[in-house]
């Protein structure tokens, strides 16, 4: 009987499905410059808050609308998420990386070295307030030749976050937090003496976060982690400062027993301890406060922030960089978005602060401070006007932080942090840890890592 | 059992051509023509089957074989994904050998595999034998043993982290009740790896136990009856009946166990981050750091190529050994 057999129908259907699947892999129809026939350029940007952060997301989307209205030739294709090292390379390889993407200060050096970010030097001159951006922050986004690859949009320096209620309970004055490591040690002892699983001071030692904090410890003791000698980078933490930092940690952990028994902690563990009211102090930037308050439903009044003891602290932050394959039109549009949204004019800052206060978004934290001079002074005034957090609790940080030098992360930071993680772990998990031997061994490893820094 | 025709085409061919002419010599025109027409007919008659087969092959090629080949190639390249990859020969491998953690990672992985074989290989077998001997509650216990497999790995890890907590953790509470000294389960260099193996064994033994139970169910009951009649004890029955009957399945699970445990990642990643003092840095954890922390895909691919070669060699040697013994 003539006609189509079931086998043929199935065969044809399979072939059609395959053909469809293969054609679906093809590229989109947009032009490479991203500009349509009406001269409107569409840029994809990430950094949109997740649906779970309803208020932040609504504010972000409202900003997109306002921006598009005031910039009719730019369309924003907003995407969730930030720069995730786990997906970054795959997105770049597959052409899915956003035109404007979020980075932490640890990323730009490597991204620039691997040419995974566009050189935007030609375009930054047109960015309003560009000259006012703190030069120390701009340095993070520049290469050795002075070319610019991104803009900072947030910054922090590590201080000492503490639980005011536990301070009071332990007989300490929450308005006068420790200013030396000796005082930290004494306070930690008193807080852990409260018992019931209360920990005086906690620190990280896992997933490179131990190395990150140990770097700050060493800075605070007047030392360095890596230095440049005759054009070559060398490990510098096998020093008196390195020894003092580890000895202090060792003493708090083993002699005073004020660091609790559980170690190999990372940021989420320590924030949880702080959020549950069982931790007295830990090293943190101001941005940790809203995270803890939101995540563990606490009150801002419960927490205080002091500057890090010692002479220096580690600073970091975040910003935006540009897809190396983005067209000049997209880069120019992206710069306008980043400046408008994050490096705000005082007028925009006033609008944002008013809205943020109404929505309960924290205003009045001592950082970020992105600009220098007059522009920042004006923004500070606006923040003071709309503050909805207990700014007096951050006074110890503001007063002393200016005297503490903020130092950036060392080159090949993540690799060094891996090595220093091991040192931190040994000191916090082995009572008889040989600090000098640990430092010497780690320095040997670090020299190998630093040898590849150009 | 008589041989069955392999396909409809084969069946049809015998029906239509009861006395097939001798095959024309290869290379001749007639031979080529006959071959071509046979091939065309075979393709035409099995078109749907070939299309289905092509879909499978294409999927495998695209999502399995291509990534493997690409991964090996990446091991010899410097990759940024922003620019075309650059060939660097054996540079990535040299850099691997220069990394002070490279040897540590292999040693740790070997140690984990060894411990996992001692614990993880024996435990499910023993559990399966015990479960098989039970008269009552077997289905319930079987489900209980399998339950951990159904938990998402991250839940398992977090659960065990609470058990291992050196303060109020379950294990230390039990030890203290028994007036034994509390232990630093994950914080001690000596105990950390053992602790990881315990978690891994607990989390994965359900599947292996079920495989063993199925294999035990397939052992003819007459063998045990004969052994019992001969007065064999439980231990003798286990040694002379159960183990020989399960030899093949034991070998297969051993091989899978080695391949699986050498790729250990979640346990050290979540519970120890490679610590204390690099005591639990494994090959896959180091590979993860190369790829996703340092963004060096060339180095990570070189490492994965090495792992692939080692596991491949192991598999070949092992299969040859078992074949010669078989």
The whole-angstrom separation of Cα B113 and Cα B111 is 5
Asked if the Cβ–Cβ distance from A206 to B272 is below 8 Å, we say yes
Q: For residue range A299-350, what is the model confidence (pLDDT) as tens digits?
A: 999 999 999 999 999 999 999 999 999 999 999 999 999 999 998 888 888 9
Does A402 have pLDDT greater than 70?
yes
Q: What tokens appear for A304 in the block?
A: 């205080």
The whole-angstrom separation of Cα A156 and Cα A407 is 11
Tell me the three state secondary structure of residue B211: helix
Give the residue from chain A lying closest to B161, CA to CA: A262
Asked if the Cβ–Cβ distance from B187 to A114 is below 8 Å, we say no
The whole-angstrom separation of Cα A75 and Cα A44 is 9
Q: What is the pLDDT of residue B142?
A: 86
Q: What tokens appear for A238 in the block?
A: 């096998």
Q: For residue range A219-252, what is the model confidence (pLDDT) as tens digits?
A: 999 999 999 988 899 999 999 999 999 999 999 9
Per-residue pLDDT band for A2 (boundaries 50, 70, 90) equals very low
Contacts of A264 in chain B (CB under 8 A): 186-187, 271-273, 275-276
Mean residue pLDDT across chain A: 89
Does B6 have pLDDT greater than 70?
no
Per-residue pLDDT band for B14 (boundaries 50, 70, 90) equals very low
The whole-angstrom separation of Cα A348 and Cα A382 is 10
The answer to whether A338 touches A151, Cβ cutoff 8 Å, is yes
Interface probe, candidates B9, B51, B101, B289, chain A, greatest A C-beta count within 10 A = B51
The whole-angstrom separation of Cα A139 and Cα B40 is 69
Nearest CA to A451 out of B94, B77, B108, B274 is that of B94
Q: What is the pLDDT of residue B41?
A: 86
Q: What tokens appear for A329 in the block?
A: 């039109």
* pLDDT, greater one: A304 or A358: A304
Asked if the Cβ–Cβ distance from B55 to A8 is below 8 Å, we say no
Does B15 have pLDDT greater than 50?
no
* pLDDT, greater one: B219 or B11: B219
Q: Count Cβ atoms within 10 A of the Cβ of residue A361 and give its class: 0-12 exposed, 13-18 middle, 19 or more buried.
A: middle
Question: Rounded to a whole number, what is the distance in angstroms from the first to the last CA of chain A?
Answer: 77
Contacts of A110 in chain B (CB under 8 A): 294-295
What is the mean pLDDT of the segment spanning A169-176? 97
Per-residue pLDDT band for A28 (boundaries 50, 70, 90) equals very low
Q: List the beta bridge partners of residue A305.
A: A161
DSSP character at residue B22? P
Q: For residue range A190-226, what is the model confidence (pLDDT) as tens digits?
A: 999 999 999 999 999 998 999 999 999 999 999 999 9
Interface probe, candidates B275, B292, B297, B298, chain A, greatest A C-beta count within 10 A = B275
DSSP secondary structure of A12-76: HHHHHHHHHHHHHTS--S--TT-B-TTS-EEEEEEEEPPTTSHHHHHHHHHHHHHHHHH-TTEEE
Q: For residue range A60-105, what is the model confidence (pLDDT) as tens digits?
A: 999 999 999 999 999 999 999 887 878 888 888 888 999 999 998 9
As a whole number of angstroms, the longest Cα–Cα distance in chain A is 98
Q: What separation in angstroms does the CA of A323 have from each of A95, B79, B82, B217?
A: 10, 16, 9, 60
The whole-angstrom separation of Cα A434 and Cα B72 is 41
Beta strand A100-104 with A74-80 is unpaired
Number of C-beta neighbours around residue A383 at 10 A: 20
Q: What is the pLDDT of residue A86?
A: 81
Q: What angle do CA A362, A284, A81 make, to 5 degrees?
A: 60
Distance of CA B19 to the CA centre of its chain: 50
Interface probe, candidates B295, B300, B301, chain A, greatest A C-beta count within 10 A = B295
Nearest CA to A389 out of A305, A287, A301 is that of A301
The whole-angstrom separation of Cα A309 and Cα B215 is 65
The answer to whether B132 touches B237, Cβ cutoff 8 Å, is no
Query: How many angstroms away from the CA of B251 is the closest CA of chain A?
Result: 36
Interface probe, candidates A429, A441, A448, chain B, greatest B C-beta count within 10 A = A429
Q: What is the pLDDT of residue A66?
A: 93
Does A16 have pLDDT greater than 60?
no
Q: Does B176 touch chain A (CB under 8 A)?
A: no
What is the mean pLDDT of the segment spanning B160-188? 90
Distance of CA A93 to the CA centre of its chain: 25
Q: What is the pLDDT of residue A1?
A: 37
Nearest CA to B82 out of A335, A70, A101 is that of A101
Asked if the Cβ–Cβ distance from B292 to A418 is below 8 Å, we say no
Q: What is the CA radius of gyration of chain A?
A: 25
Does B16 have pLDDT greater than 70?
no
Asked if the Cβ–Cβ distance from B47 to A7 is below 8 Å, we say yes
pTM score, whole prediction: 0.79
Per-residue pLDDT band for B116 (boundaries 50, 70, 90) equals very high
DSSP character at residue A393? G
Does B31 have pLDDT greater than 80?
no
Query: How many angstroms away from the CA of B81 is the closest CA of chain A?
Result: 5
Does B262 have pLDDT greater than 70?
yes
Supply the angle between the helices B192-217 and B122-133 in degrees, to the nearest 10: 40
Q: Does B260 touch chain A (CB under 8 A)?
A: no
Nearest CA to A327 out of A315, A335, A339 is that of A335
The whole-angstrom separation of Cα B168 and Cα B321 is 48
Number of C-beta neighbours around residue A454 at 10 A: 8
| Sequence-ordered alpha helix ranges (H) in B61-152 | 66-74, 91-98, 100-116, 122-133, 138-150
Per-residue pLDDT band for A27 (boundaries 50, 70, 90) equals very low
Asked if the Cβ–Cβ distance from A18 to B48 is below 8 Å, we say no
The whole-angstrom separation of Cα A264 and Cα B107 is 21
Q: For residue range A411-431, what is the model confidence (pLDDT) as tens digits?
A: 888 889 989 999 999 999 999
Number of C-beta neighbours around residue A23 at 10 A: 8
User: How many CB pairs below 8 Å do chains A and B form together?
Assistant: 108
Q: List the beta bridge partners of residue A41.
A: A35, A74
DSSP secondary structure of A253-280: IIIS--S-S--S--HHHHHHHHHTT-EE
Q: Count Cβ atoms within 10 A of the Cβ of residue A437 and give its class: 0-12 exposed, 13-18 middle, 19 or more buried.
A: exposed
Q: Is the ipTM above a cut-off of 0.90?
A: no
A45: left (phi over 0), alpha (psi -120 to 50) or beta: beta
DSSP character at residue B21? P
Does B326 have pLDDT greater than 70?
no
Mean residue pLDDT across chain B: 85
The single residue listed with the structure tokens 């409202």 is: A62
Q: What is the pLDDT of residue A23?
A: 37
Q: For residue range A112-166, what is the model confidence (pLDDT) as tens digits?
A: 988 999 999 999 998 888 888 988 899 999 998 999 999 999 999 999 999 999 9
The whole-angstrom separation of Cα A110 and Cα A410 is 12
Asked if the Cβ–Cβ distance from A18 to B168 is below 8 Å, we say no
The whole-angstrom separation of Cα A417 and Cα A409 is 10
The contact set of A with B (CB < 8 A) is 7-8, 10-11, 14-15, 17-18, 85-86, 88-89, 92-93, 110, 114-116, 197, 205-208, 260-264, 266, 324-325, 414-415, 418, 421-422, 425-426, 428-430, 444-445, 448
Per-residue pLDDT band for B136 (boundaries 50, 70, 90) equals confident
Instruction: Mean pLDDT check: name the lowest of A373-387, A414-428, B21-35, B186-200.
Output: B21-35
The single residue listed with the structure tokens 């040994």 is: A426
Give the residue from chain B lying closest to A428, CA to CA: B187
Q: What angle do CA A399, A277, A318 make, to 5 degrees?
A: 50
Task: State the number of CA atoms in the 13 A half-sphere of A217 facing the CB.
Answer: 31
The whole-angstrom separation of Cα A134 and Cα A151 is 11
Q: What is the pLDDT of residue B135?
A: 79
Asked if the Cβ–Cβ distance from B100 to A429 is below 8 Å, we say no
> Residue A324: which of B82, B272, B273 has the nearest Cβ?
B82
Supply the angle between the helices B47-60 and B29-45 in degrees, to the nearest 10: 80
Does A11 have pLDDT greater than 60?
no
The whole-angstrom separation of Cα A225 and Cα A223 is 7
Asked if the Cβ–Cβ distance from B80 to A115 is below 8 Å, we say yes
The whole-angstrom separation of Cα B216 and Cα B210 is 10
Q: What is the pLDDT of residue B138?
A: 81
The whole-angstrom separation of Cα A211 and Cα B107 is 23
The answer to whether A99 touches A45, Cβ cutoff 8 Å, is yes
What is the mean pLDDT of the segment spanning B129-137? 85
What is the mean pLDDT of the segment spanning B182-201? 92
Q: What is the pLDDT of residue A8?
A: 46
């Amino acid at each position: 009987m003539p006609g189509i057999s079931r086998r043929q129908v199935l065969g044809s259907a399979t072939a059609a499905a395959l053909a469809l699947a293969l054609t679906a892999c093809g590229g989109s129809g947009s032009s490479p410059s991203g500009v349509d026939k009406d001269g409107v350029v569409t840029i994809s940007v990430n950094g949109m808050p997740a649906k779970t952060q309803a208020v932040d997301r609504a504010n972000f989307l409202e900003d997109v609308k306002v921006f598009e209205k005031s910039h009719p030739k730019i369309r924003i294709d907003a995407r969730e998420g930030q720069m995730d090292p786990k997906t970054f390379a795959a997105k770049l390889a597959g052409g899915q990386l956003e035109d404007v993407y979020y980075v932490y200060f640890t990323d730009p050096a490597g991204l620039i070295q691997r040419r995974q970010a566009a050189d935007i030097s030609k375009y930054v001159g047109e960015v309003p307030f560009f000259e006012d951006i703190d030069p120390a922050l701009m340095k993070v986004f520049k290469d050795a030749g002075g070319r610019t690859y991104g803009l900072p949009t947030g910054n922090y320096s590590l201080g000492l976050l503490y639980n005011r209620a536990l301070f009071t309970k332990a007989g300490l004055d929450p308005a006068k937090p420790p200013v030396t490591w000796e005082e930290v040690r004494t306070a930690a002892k008193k807080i852990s003496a409260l018992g019931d699983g209360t920990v005086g001071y906690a620190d990280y030692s896992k997933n490179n976060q131990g190395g990150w904090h140990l770097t700050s410890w060493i800075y605070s003791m007047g030392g360095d982690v890596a230095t440049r000698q005759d054009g070559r980078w060398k490990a510098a933490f096998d020093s008196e400062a390195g020894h003092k930092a580890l000895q202090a940690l060792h003493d708090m952990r083993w002699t005073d027993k004020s660091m609790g028994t559980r170690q190999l902690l990372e940021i989420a563990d320590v924030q949880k301890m702080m959020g549950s009211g069982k931790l007295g102090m830990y090293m943190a930037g101001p941005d940790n406060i809203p995270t803890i308050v939101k995540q563990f439903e606490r009150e801002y009044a419960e927490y205080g922030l002091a500057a890090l003891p010692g002479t220096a602290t580690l600073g970091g932050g975040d910003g935006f960089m540009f897809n190396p394959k983005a067209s000049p039109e997209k880069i120019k549009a992206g710069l306008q978005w980043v400046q408008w949204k994050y490096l705000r004019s005082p007028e925009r800052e006033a609008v944002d602060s008013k809205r943020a206060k109404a929505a309960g978004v924290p205003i009045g934290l001592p950082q970020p401070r992105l600009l220098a001079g007059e522009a920042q002074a004006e923004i500070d005034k606006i923040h003071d006007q709309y503050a909805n957090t207990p700014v007096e609790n951050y006074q110890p940080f503001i007063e002393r932080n200016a005297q503490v030098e903020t130092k950036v992360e060392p080159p090949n930071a993540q690799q060094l942090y891996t090595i220093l993680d091991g040192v931190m772990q040994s000191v916090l998990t082995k009572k008889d840890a040989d600090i000098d031997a640990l430092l010497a061994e780690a320095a040997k490893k670090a020299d190998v890592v630093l040898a590849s820094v150009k | 059992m008589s041989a069955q025709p392999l396909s409809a085409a084969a069946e049809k061919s015998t029906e239509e051509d009861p006395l097939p002419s001798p095959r024309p010599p290869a290379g001749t025109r007639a031979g080529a023509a006959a071959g071509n027409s046979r091939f065309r007919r075979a393709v035409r008659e099995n078109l749907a089957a070939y299309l289905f087969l092509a879909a499978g092959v294409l999927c495998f090629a695209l999502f399995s074989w291509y990534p493997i080949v690409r991964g090996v190639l990446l091991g010899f390249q410097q990759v940024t994904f922003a620019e075309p990859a650059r060939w660097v020969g054996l540079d990535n491998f040299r850099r691997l050998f220069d990394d002070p953690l490279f040897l540590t990672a292999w040693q740790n992985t070997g140690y984990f595999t060894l411990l996992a074989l001692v614990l993880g290989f024996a435990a499910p077998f023993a559990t399966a034998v015990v479960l098989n001997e039970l008269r009552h509650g077997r289905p319930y216990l079987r489900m209980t043993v399998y339950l951990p497999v159904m938990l998402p790995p991250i839940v398992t890890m977090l659960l065990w982290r609470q058990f291992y907590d050196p303060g109020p953790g379950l294990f230390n509470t039990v030890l203290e009740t028994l007036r034994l000294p509390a232990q630093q389960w994950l914080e001690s260099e000596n105990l950390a790896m053992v602790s990881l193996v315990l978690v891994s064994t607990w989390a994965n033994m359900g599947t292996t136990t079920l495989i063993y139970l199925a294999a035990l169910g397939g052992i003819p009951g007459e063998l045990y009856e004969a052994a019992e009649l001969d007065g064999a004890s439980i231990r003798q029955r286990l040694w002379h009946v159960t183990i020989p009957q399960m030899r093949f399945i034991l070998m297969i699970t051993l091989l899978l166990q080695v391949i699986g445990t050498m790729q250990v990642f979640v346990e050290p990643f979540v519970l120890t981050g490679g610590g204390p003092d690099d005591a639990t840095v494994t090959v896959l954890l180091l590979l993860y750091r190369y790829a996703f922390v340092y963004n060096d895909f060339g180095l990570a691919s070189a490492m994965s190529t090495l792992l692939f070669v080692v596991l491949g060699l192991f598999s070949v040697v092992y299969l040859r050994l078992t074949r010669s013994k078989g």
